[in-house]
């Protein structure tokens, strides 16, 4: 691996410049901004992730959402309860497996996702305004490589639900 772009030993050794600490600080700061944007909508990042998954991939089994988002079953169930009460999703028990639910985004849920997503774009824009387009592209590529490397366990399921996996095809 090339040393191009690597910080010098002195730069890495400076207080606060270790990779883990820097990633934590930046991630935590962006996370707080994201939570602040979501607060007026009455949702958390977990709510946002579930809504976005349904918007992007269509109806899904709760277990698929657990794998896709990397959050536990109970959190998915609690978030789904909140979103169902708000009218943003519905649940359906599949004929073949009464132990699980298929979650469907409602039309109100689609409108809500669009509204929240529009508000959250400001965070990405403020971060990427710091970079050139090429740097932004490189950042995304490297971040996705890091997240999908397996080095940190299963951060999120990188396999998008396929047509065969789609709940409407499973009964």
Angle at 51 between CA 46 and CA 56, to 5 degrees: 125
Residue 156 scores a pLDDT above 70:
no
How many angstroms separate the CA atoms of 91 and 80, rounded?
8
89 beta partners: 105
At 142, list the tokens: 């490297």
| Residues 6+ positions from 54 with CB-CB distance below 8 Å | 60, 65, 89, 103, 104, 105, 109
pLDDT at 26: 92
> Residue 163's pLDDT band (boundaries 50, 70, 90)?
very low
What average pLDDT does the segment 24-49 reach?
92
How many angstroms separate the CA atoms of 150 and 137, rounded?
21
Q: Does the 10-169 domain belong in CATH 3.40.50.2000?
A: no
Higher-pLDDT residue of 154 and 135 is: 135
pLDDT at 148: 80
> Residue 138's pLDDT band (boundaries 50, 70, 90)?
very high
pLDDT at 15: 65
Confidence (pTM): 0.75
Residue 13 scores a pLDDT above 70:
no
> Residue 158's pLDDT band (boundaries 50, 70, 90)?
very low
Task: Give me the residue label for tokens 């959402």.
Answer: 65
Residue 152 scores a pLDDT above 70:
yes
At 93, list the tokens: 């028990």
Q: How is residue 90 annotated by DSSP? A: E
Query: 61, 100 in Cβ contact below 8 A?
Result: yes
How many angstroms separate the CA atoms of 156 and 140, rounded?
16
pLDDT digits (tens, 9 = 90+) for 61-118: 998 898 888 889 999 999 999 999 999 999 998 888 777 889 999 999 999 999 998 8
Residue 5 scores a pLDDT above 70:
no
From 55, 56, 34, 47, select the one nearest 77 (Cα to Cα): 47
At 92, list the tokens: 């359906």
């Amino acid at each position: 691996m090339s040393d191009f772009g690597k910080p010098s030993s002195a730069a890495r050794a400076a207080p606060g410049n270790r990779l883990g600490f820097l990633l934590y600080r930046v991630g935590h700061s962006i996370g707080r901004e994201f939570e602040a944007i979501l607060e007026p909508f009455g949702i958390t990042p977990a709510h946002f992730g579930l809504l976005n998954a349904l918007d992007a991939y269509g109806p899904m089994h709760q277990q698929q959402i657990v794998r896709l988002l990397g959050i536990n079953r109970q959190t998915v169930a609690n978030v789904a309860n909140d979103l169902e009460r708000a009218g943003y999703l519905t649940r359906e028990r599949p004929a073949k497996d009464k132990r699980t639910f298929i979650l469907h985004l409602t039309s109100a849920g689609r409108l809500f996702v669009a509204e929240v997503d529009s508000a959250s774009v400001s965070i990405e824009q403020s971060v990427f305004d710091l970079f050139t387009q090429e740097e932004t592209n490189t950042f995304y590529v490297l971040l996705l490589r890091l997240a999908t490397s397996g080095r940190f366990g299963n951060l999120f399921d990188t396999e998008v639900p396929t047509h065969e996996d789609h709940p409407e095809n499973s009964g």
